[in-house]
Structure 1
Amino acid sequence: MIQYALKCAEGHTFDSWFQSADAFDKLAGAGMVQCVVCGSTRVEKALMAPRVSHGRDTDAPQPPAAEAPERPLTAPANAAEQALAELKRKIEENSEYVGMNFAEEARAIHEGEAPERPIYGEAKTEEARALIEDGVPVTPLPFLPNRKAN
């Protein structure tokens, strides 16, 4: 696993873990790496200091690190990330996750074939475009939903 400091085209910085350098390149090339603040897929590696194991005695005093203090990857770093985390929490608490069935379920609700309720999920670009063109009220979310499994 490798951790990269990342930066989007809008200047937002964040970090993420990848299986390898090749994995990052493949995912970024496919547009699957998104900014955690604005959702942009124009993301590149930011300048970062490498972490090198020096092999010295771990009880010996270490020089102070020149980098920002570490934080869990899930902890919001700034006000924008905190607002996004709160929005995600509210949506997940007050809506039903319908996964990849989102387009079908949204259309069924709109046409009165399914009970009206707040839902969220995932849809292909073509499916989302068709919903919008047909007047089904949907909006993209600025985050990826937690995938719920059995």
Structure 2
Amino acid sequence: MKVLDLRCTHGHRFEGWFASDADLQSQMDRGLLECPVCADKAITRLPSAPRLNVSGAREPQPPAKPAEKAPQGDQPIEMTMQAAWLRAVQHVMNNTDDVGDKFAEEARKIHYGEADERAIRGRATPDEAEALRDEGIDVMSLPVPAALKGPVQ
């Protein structure tokens, strides 16, 4: 199994696991790879160094004591922000009712007291979203990665 570093054209970095280089190329050729953040299908493989286990290369180090843990600042800020954004999207998905294409209709019912107040999500056209804002109904667009829309395989 090969674990490879990948990146989309928007700069989102992620890992992919493949049986071989041929498997990676096959999936890329068939358009099966997409960024888990933005669903971009233009994916490139990043250079990565193989891990080498060389016995006797250095003296074994004793395990670190709990107070001597490495600092958490070794991840690039982009990766940290991407992970936080994915957690926020997952939180929204887990704590809202999906009303699908009836978002504008359902938002109005809630706003005008015709339906019980609750957190909802769904799809609205830009014109519908603007009309809701004009009526004083707060709405926000939130792009949801395809991987979070359905069950994970």
TM-score, normalised with respect to structure 1? 0.52
Equivalent runs, 1:104-115 vs 2, <5 Å: 104-115=105-116
Give the letter aligned to residue 78 of structure 1.
Answer: M
Of structures 1 and 2, the one with the larger relative CO (CA 8 A, separation 6+) is 2
Q: 1:134 to 1:107 in 2, by over 3 A?
A: same
Greater CA deviation, 78-87 or 136-145?
136-145
Larger Rg: 2
Q: Deviations over 1:91-147 (max 9, x none)?
A: 122211111111110111111111111111111121111111221111111425625
Q: 1:88 to 1:68 in 2, by over 3 A?
A: farther
8 Å Cα contact 1:7/1:35 also seen in 2: no
CA-based RMSD: 3.8
Equivalent runs, 1:17-32 vs 2, <5 Å: 20=30
> What is the deviation of 1:14?
5.6
8 Å Cα contact 1:95/1:119 also seen in 2: yes
**Unpaired segments of 5 or more residues in structure 1?**
25-32, 50-65, 70-76
Q: Distance in 1 between matches of 2:13 and 2:149?
A: 22
More helix per residue = 2
**Unpaired segments of 5 or more residues in structure 2?**
1-5, 17-26, 51-77
Give the letter aligned to residue 146 of structure 1.
Answer: K
1:134 aligns to what? 135
Q: Which runs of 4+ in 1 moved over 2 A?
A: 11-21, 33-36, 43-49, 66-69, 142-145
Q: Distance in 2 between matches of 1:107 and 1:18?
A: 43
Question: How many aligned residue pairs are there?
Answer: 107
TM-score, normalised with respect to structure 2? 0.51
